[in-house]
Amino acid sequence: MLNDADKRAVARRFAAAATRYDASARVQARIAAAMADRLAAFDLPVGARVLEIGCGTGLLTAAALPRLPGVGRWLATDIAPGMVAACRGRLSADTRLSVAAMDGEGLATSGPFDLICSTLALQWFPDAGGALARWRSLLRPGGFLCVATLGVDTFAEWRAALAAVGASGAGPAYPDAATLSRWLGPGGRVERQDFVEHHADARHFLLSLRGIGADYAPTRLSASTLRQAMRNLDAARPVDITYDVRWLTLRAP
């Protein structure tokens, strides 16, 4: 479980990675495209007001906004100022968009919104359940919440390689379906969709995490433990890494 100091460290990593993020964000781009497909199927009112949380460089914003002509205003937010600048630069021509630096756990904005969406940010929140409750409270009656986050089997291959060297607690811990359902609350739906990313070897996998700024871990491994875990992962080269993506959706009553 991350704490508030971890959160600040996470924000610094992502801010520093903003200019190189897109070059490594292969699976993130696929998940953003899948989210855009979902959003395009929602029955949004004309002039809809949308809040995006943890927008990063704007992969989801760019995939979804052109497909949603009825949207009136889209507020994209991220805790990392470098990400906010990258998102603004990517989509400055769309006058429906505004981009702001904001902590998704302490949103400095008021609702109601017709849609709140977020891809691959919630897993970085110290109090994800509290954040989801707050997001629900910002929905207009009939408004949609659609969130993609990571589930318990994410990085199963890396986790097994770590466990084999006695470092099972070193990888990130992600919630199971029951926990996510509890956090999401009544009327919510949790679905699983696996995305597999192929890497030449363990080093390439770890460099891709560093490339997007997602390499923060509260527990640091010794160099020898890390090398051994990488050798374990490389035993099955090329390396397939599973992203156990959980779609959290609900419609406000």
> Between 44 and 121, whose beta carbon lies closer to ligand SAM?
121
Our CA angle for 103, 23, 153, nearest 5°, is: 65
Tell me which residue of 11, 15, 17, 172 sits closest to 106, measured CA to CA. 11
- Per CB under 6 A, the segment of 74-82, 91-99, 172-180, 196-204 that binds ligand SAM is 74-82
Assess 119 for contact with ligand SAM (CB under 6 A): yes
End-to-end CA distance of the chain: 31
Residue closest to ligand SAM, measured at CB = 56
Instruction: Scan residues 6-25 and list those touching ligand SAM (CB under 6 A).
Output: 7, 10-11, 14, 25
Which of 6, 103, 153, 197: binder of ligand SAM (CB under 6 A)? 103
Q: State the Cα torsion 209-16-117-170 to the nearest 10°.
A: 40
Assess 59 for contact with ligand SAM (CB under 6 A): yes
Structure token pair of residue 173: 């811990």
Tell me, what DSSP letter sits at residue 218?
S
Counting residues that bind ligand SAM (by CB under 6 A) gives 27
- Per CB under 6 A, the segment of 4-12, 109-117, 171-179, 222-230 that binds ligand SAM is 4-12
- Residues 104/53, Cβ–Cβ less than 8 Å: yes
Which of 125, 135, 144, 155: binder of ligand SAM (CB under 6 A)? 125
Assess 150 for contact with ligand SAM (CB under 6 A): no
- Per CB under 6 A, the segment of 90-98, 101-109, 167-175, 228-236 that binds ligand SAM is 101-109
Neighbouring CB atoms inside 10 A of 67's CB total: 11
- Residues 90/64, Cβ–Cβ less than 8 Å: no
Strands 113-119 and 139-150 turn out to be parallel
Binding site residues, ligand SAM, CB under 6 A = 7, 10-11, 14, 25, 28, 32, 53-56, 59-60, 78-80, 83, 103-105, 119-121, 124-125, 212, 214
